[in-house]
Structure 1
């Protein structure tokens, strides 16, 4: 195969050199723009055919050395008076079979008499044009590409080339995404393996500490809080002394507010998700306050307009207690009622229960901060048997408001208390009261840190340990 490199001012001139030296069967391997014009790399798998005649001497083409025949150009093959462009050559080729107007134009450029037989040069030109691999459309297309590059415009490619160019970035991005996904998976596996190795190392070095961490997490505490507590445990303690030390340390981390609601004055609102027992807790607090200060010193307001018979339930409790009960549907009505009941020592507000993902929850909370009503203390009511991730979402849902404390309800339905204690410690949420039944007003108590930790340890001992929990065998068919 013969490979040559050609240079020209433009694509047409470079192609003319290729055709002149390698013939019409040459294959263009590459083209690029250089400083002086266009560079073409062409290949030809066999030597050019022998020339049929002696070309005329051209000032542009001179023999390289004596004794060597100069390679004739396309214009020399078809004659100096022949067409110099490929378009004119094609017109000349079809001149014999075209209408008389085409014949006339072709005969004017080649011979004055169009009736004469076709010359050998013209016949050879037709033979060359019939085997040309380069078309005028291809030349124009290549030149337009380089012209677009010169002017800074986007190069226009044929449809099949454009589709392949567009598909290349898409496939590359897909491969990169797959590689990133595989790397992330490998990182997760390595982190898990490293964590497992570190845990095994810690178990060998500090077996008592690792055993206590397992007990704390089984009791319901988060792994982060359990690790913090273990770091303060003296290394020389045995298992029993260390366990007692950890329970006392956990009790010291829990913040309690005491009997703050029943010993203070003003307005108090109980907020929280649906089904946590807010209405019953309001009735319990009102009954306790009425026992201490009298029924005329306390009033209850409900803004729960979503639940059926919410006002009727609170009104029934009000009749039993003997205190005032009102209903507000808007923030303006709530502000008016608070102004009317300003002579009461304590006003308890029962709110509607929504999911922490419900947008109506935010609208209800904003009713207390519209600037038209006095300051209202807000307490979060949460079930003590709620899962730890759910408690996190509930507390985060009330980040925009200032919570004075929390009340944990339904302790009698719990099998573990570590989750709520862990949430109260990690989010620094004070605990005010706990409820453990439906009786009004008996089943409500002031929160005490040591009592809560003791109850959590008893539940763990009763339901959490392996030798106390009932492990039923899986029945197989």
Structure 2
């Protein structure tokens, strides 16, 4: 049995600490006011028999009968508590008393996920009120996960085998979205599978300070060539030079959507035709209101799919999913950290939906599922 003491400014704050540290199966052992707030002692893996053998069973207090009329019908059992001076078990508290207290506190402060409506849950995930309403209309008995998944599968979808058997792959996206790191992850994965002779790196990021140097470090570590592209002639020459390498990755510069240099660079990539596979990198935390402006330069390009980056920084990426649904652009990969190449994964709803769910629950419920489903 694991017993811990938690304190905070309010009961609501402390209950959230307990959920995060011990989970929803934690048992509250004691609750008292202290200087500056509240102190609650809670336990996980509680051994009722151990303490029942050590103490007599007291009667149900009259005060709690008034708070919970059904309490006398329950079989009272002793439960361990922690004294103020240390971890010495007390014999007077009852499990039923404490459970009743927990229920009363949660009912008063309404801090459980069950108290939220479907619309509130979905807006916590970053979806607009319109999307939340559409899903809520299809939800039966507040069960929102199946209708949400159905809408996402129909309108967004996932890319199957995004890198296929090779080709030219360009990563596009706004500044700061993580394009260089994503390129390194993709390239490293192919080097591990096929060797350094199968991969070449190209970069057009000659404007950002240390942009070339950053990708150059990855190239040296992987043992692959890096070509710096300053114009369309350089691009065609580099592609011809490394034509025998199955996987060629192009890192592009991120600029303001109003910068004319961005349009010029996109024109080079568009001129490559269907031979090039263009993936749009979208930071997961981008606001649904800002995405149409930030991503406007890319919507007219033939895109192969999207990569959701920086999911570890925010699980509330409903706005990004909604934008992808509007443009019927499938998800190829998502990233959840800086490790190369471990933190880039082929997109699967079994992994993405639990991460979304954690945005409404405010805990780490997704971590175990991520570990289970991450494969590449």
Instruction: Please indicate the TM-score interval, normalised by the length of the shorter structure.
Output: 0.5 to 0.7
Alignment partner, residue 238 of structure 1: 141
Q: CA deviation at 1:257?
A: 0.4
Task: Name the CA distance, whole Å, in 1 between partners of 2:151 and 2:231.
Answer: 43
Q: Deviations over 1:312-335 (max 9, x none)?
A: 211111111111111110011101
The Cα shift of 1:406 comes to 0.8
In structure 1, what is the equivalent of residue 171 of structure 2?
270
CA contact (8 A) 1:386 1:420 kept: yes
For residues 218 and 364 of structure 1, the distance between their equivalents in structure 2, rounded to whole angstroms, comes to 37
Runs of 4+ in 1 over 6 A off after TM superposition: none
- How do 1:433-444 and structure 2 match up within 5 A? 433-444=333-344
Equivalent residue number for residue 26 of structure 1: none
Scaled by the length of structure 2, the TM-score of the pair is: 0.62
1:260 maps to 2:166: no
Partner of 2:278: 378
- Per the alignment, residue 172 of structure 1 pairs with none
Partner SS, residue 158 of structure 2? coil
Matches of residues 201-350 of structure 1 in structure 2 within 5 Å?
A: 211-233=117-139, 237-239=140-142, 242-253=143-154, 254-261=156-163, 263-350=164-251
Tell me by how many angstroms 1:303 deviates: 0.9
Shift of 1:440: 0.9
Alignment partner, residue 124 of structure 1 = none
Match of 1:426 in 2: 326
Taking CA–CA contacts closer than 8 Å with sequence separation of 6 or more, which of the two structures ends up with the larger relative contact order? Answer: 2
Instruction: Pick the structure with more helix per residue.
Output: 1
Contiguous gaps of at least 5 residues in structure 2: 1-113, 364-376
Q: Distance in 1 between matches of 2:160 and 2:284?
A: 18
Q: TM-score, normalised by structure 1?
A: 0.49
1:440, 1:278 → 2: CA distance? 13
CA distance in 2, matches of 1:341, 1:299: 7
Q: Deviation digits for residues 407-429 of structure 1, max 9, x if unmatched?
A: 11111111512222222222211
How far apart in 1 are the matches of 2:148 and 2:209? 44
State how far apart, in whole Å, the 1-side matches of 2:292 and 2:165 are: 29
Aligned partner of 2:367 in structure 1 is none
Match of 1:414 in 2: 314
Name which of 360, 367, 371 aligns with 1:460: 360
Q: Is the 8 A contact 1:433 1:446 kept in 2?
A: yes
SS of 1:382 mapped into structure 2: strand
**Residue aligned with 1:315, SS:** helix
The secondary structure found in structure 1 opposite 2:281 is strand
Q: How many pairs were matched up? A: 249
Q: 1:277, CA displacement in angstroms?
A: 0.8
2:176 and 2:254 in contact (8 A); partners too: yes
Question: Per the alignment, in what secondary structure is the counterpart of residue 289 of structure 2?
Answer: helix
Report the Cα distance in structure 2 between the residues aligned to 1:374 and 1:452, rounded to whole angstroms.
29
Q: Is the 8 A contact 1:225 1:426 kept in 2?
A: no
* Structure 1 residue 400 displacement after superposition: 2.1
SS in 2 for 1:217: helix
Q: Which digits, 9 at most, give the CA deviation of each residue in 1:154-193, with x for residues without a partner?
A: xxxxxxxxxxxxxxxxxxxxxxxxxxxxxxxxxxxxxxxx
Q: Shift of residue 310 of structure 1? A: 1.6
Rg (Cα) greater in structure: 1
State the shift of 1:216 in Å: 1.8
- In 2, distance between residues paired with 1:245 and 1:222? 18
> What CA distance in whole angstroms lies between the structure 1 residues aligned with 2:265 and 2:149?
39
Residue matched to 2:345: 445
Q: Secondary structure at the match of 2:362?
A: helix
Rounded to whole Å, the distance in 2 between the matches of 1:355 and 1:323 is 30
Q: In the alignment, what sits opposite 2:9?
A: none
Query: Does residue 1:395 correspond to 2:295, yes or no?
Result: yes
C-alpha separation in 2, matches of 1:282 and 1:407: 11
Q: Give the Cα–Cα distance (whole angstroms) in 1 for the partners of residues 146 and 219 of structure 2.
A: 46
Partners of 2:138 and 2:117 lie apart in 1 by 15
Cα distance per residue 1:68-87 (max 9 Å; x no partner):
xxxxxxxxxxxxxxxxxxxx
Q: How far apart, CA to CA, are the structure 2 residues paired with 1:227 and 1:428?
A: 20
Q: Secondary structure at the match of 1:238?
A: coil
Alpha-carbon distance, 1:220 to partner: 1.3
Question: 1:251: how far off?
Answer: 4.5
Q: Tell me the CA shift for residue 229 of structure 1.
A: 2.5
Q: Cα distance 1:249–1:400, how it changes in 2: closer, same or farther (>3 A)?
A: closer
2:290 aligned counterpart, secondary structure: helix
